[in-house]
Amino acid sequence: MLSPGVLFPAAYLLVYTSTNIYLNAAFKHNLAHSVNQATGNTWNTNISSVTAGLILDSIKLNHVTLSPADTTAKNSKRITLTNLEIPCNNLHLLLFSPSKRFSSTETISEKILSEWHLVQ
């Protein structure tokens, strides 16, 4: 039989791994789309990777790049942030709650834009 000492870590690893897979797939795409919409489609967003904090209490964004959508402008510059950690309580609920997904996406989008003072 399996003891609780084996079942709990196995269940935690399953939730942690599936949360990270979700964050790097659909959530990353939705977040980039949300940032683009929040800027009035004047900036394009590229997010290298998104990972969950070790105890599922934060989201870490790695290599976030904002570039102007109008590439013909002479002084078009890219804005890059290497790492951004955003507190996010109940991160494990992202997998099970559509309303939590939407609110988390909007909150993180606002945080990214406030880092660069691009909130419109």
- CA dihedral for 36, 42, 46, 51, sign (positive or negative): negative
CA separation for the pair 43, 98 (Å, rounded): 26
More confident residue, 67 or 2: 67
Q: What is the pLDDT of residues 16-63, one digit of tens each?
A: 999 999 999 889 999 999 988 888 888 889 999 999 998 889 999 999
Among 28, 19, 71, CA closest to 48 = 28
In a domain? residue 81: yes
26, 18 Cβ separation under 8 angstroms = no
113, 119 Cβ separation under 8 angstroms = yes
CA separation for the pair 51, 64 (Å, rounded): 13
More confident residue, 60 or 92: 60
In a domain? residue 120: no
In a domain? residue 53: yes
Number of structural domains, the chain? Answer: 1
pLDDT greater than 90 at residue 102: no
pTM for the model? 0.80
What angle, 0 to 180 degrees and rounded to 10, lies between the N-to-C axes of helices 98-115 and 28-38?
Answer: 50
In a domain? residue 22: yes
Give the residue numbers spanning the domain of 77.
Answer: 4-115
In a domain? residue 21: yes
